[in-house]
Amino acid sequence: MHALSHGTTSTPATIAVPPSLSLPVIEAAFPRRLHPYWPKCQEKTRAWLLEKRLMPADKVEEYADGLCYTDLMAGYYLGASDEVMQAIADYSAWFFVWDDRHDRDIVHGRPAAWRLLRDRLHRALDSPGEHLHHGDPLVAGFADSVLRLYAFLPQTWNLRFARHFHAVIDAYDQEFHNRTEGIVPTVEEYLRLRRLTFAHWIWTDLLEPTAGCELPDAVRKHPAYRRAALMSQEFAAWYNDLCSLPKEIAGDEVHNLGISLITHEGLTLEQAVAEVRHRVEKCIADFIDVEREALRFADDLADGSVRGKELSAAVRACLSNMRNWFSSVYWFHHESGRYMVDSWDDRSTPPYVNNEAAGEK
C-alpha cells in the first residue's frame, strides 16, 4: 500500500508500506499532520546533537535527518509552542542515542559501563543543573534536555516526570540483565516491562506542556483519559514489535512481544505475527471507542468556570495528540533509517551509532 508522506524534505515522497505491516484504518482515519515549526526544529535538533557531542559530525550530516526523530515528535505534539516543541524534539533525539548506547553496551559486554551510566542518569534526573557539564556527553545532554522540560510546568509536574523516568531507567537495567542472560520474559512480564522501556507515561506526560496545562490527578486518572493514553502508547510499542520481529529473531533478541509468544505460548512465527497484528488492530479499535467517552468527559469538565474551561480545552488537546500519535508512529516506521536494516553494511551494527564514544575500539 502506498500513501503520501511528509518525509524529511519539502517534497512529499511516496512511501510503500509492506502488506504485512499495512494498516488501512490508520491511512484512512488518522490523517497525518506536522507541527508548522518542524523544518526549523529539525535544523535546531541537528545542531543540538553536534553541540552536545551526542553524534559525530559526519554521522549527523549523513544520518540525522533520515532517522526522522524530529518528524516523529512534530507529528505528535501539535499545538506546542515552538520552545516546547524544540525541547521535546531534542529530548527525543537524546532518548534514541541513549537507546543505542544501551544496545552497544549489551552487544559488546560492558556491564560496568552500563551500570555507571545508569547511576549517573538517575542523579542527573534529580539535579540536572549540576550535570550540564558532565564529561559523558550522554549525561550532559540528558541534563540539558530535562532542565529545559522542567521550565514549562510547576514542580509537581517535574517530580512526576522524574518519578516516571527513574522507572524507565530501571526498566532499561532489567532489559540489560535479560538480554545479557538470554532471558525471554513471559508475555505478561514483557507487557509490563515494555510499558516502561517504551516510556509510555513519559510521552503522555509531555502532552501537558504541549497543551500548556498541568492536569490534576483526578483528570489524568479518569478511566477514559487513562485508557485512551494507554491505547495510543500500546499501539506504538506493539507496532514497533511487529515491524522489528524478523530482524530481532535473526539477532537473537529476547525483547519482543512476538518472541515472548513464541517462547512461552508455543506459537509459530506466523501465529505470533498474526497475534501481534491482532493486538495492534485492537488498540486502534479500543482507542476509537474510548476516545468518544474521553471527549464527553472533556465536555463535562467545562462547568462554566474559568478553570473548567481551561481543563476541558487541555484534555481535548491531549486527546487530539494521542490520536496524532497513531499516524506519526506508523509513518515513522516506514520512513526512518533506523528500521532500514536491509540497507546496512552490517545488520548487527547500525551505521548511525557512535561506537567510539561508547568506548569501542
For 207-220, write each residue's pLDDT tens digit.
999 999 999 999 99
For 318-360, write each residue's pLDDT tens digit.
999 999 999 999 999 999 877 776 666 665 677 777 665 444 4
For 149-166, write each residue's pLDDT tens digit.
999 999 999 999 999 999
Indicate yes or no: pTM above 0.85.
yes
Residue 106: is it exposed, middle or buried by C-beta count within 10 angstroms (0-12/13-18/19+)?
middle
DSSP bridge partners of 13: 5
Measure the CA–CA gap between 168 and 142, rounded to whole angstroms.
14
Q: Quote the pLDDT of residue 181.
A: 95
Exposure b/e, 248-279, CB count within 10 A at least 16 = b? beeeebbbbbbbbbbbeeebeeeebbebbbeb
DSSP bridge partners of 14: 4
* C-alpha 234, offset from chain centre: 11
Residues labelled as active-site residues: 95-96, 198, 338
**Please, where in the chain does CATH 1.10.600.10 lie?**
185-341
- Which uninterrupted H or E stretch holds 4? strand 2-5
Q: How many residues does the chain have?
A: 361
Q: Quote the pLDDT of residue 1.
A: 31
For the domain made up of 185-341, give the CATH fold. Farnesyl Diphosphate Synthase (1.10.600)
Long-range contacts of 164-171 (CB under 8 A, 24+ apart): 164/199, 164/201, 164/202, 164/205, 165/125, 165/199, 165/202, 166/122, 166/125, 167/196, 168/196, 168/197, 168/199, 168/202, 169/118, 169/121, 169/122, 169/125, 170/196, 171/196, 171/197
For 22-40, write each residue's pLDDT tens digit.
999 999 999 999 999 999 9
CB 276 within 8 A of CB 257: yes
Q: Which of 193, 215, 194 is closest to 204 using CA atoms?
A: 215
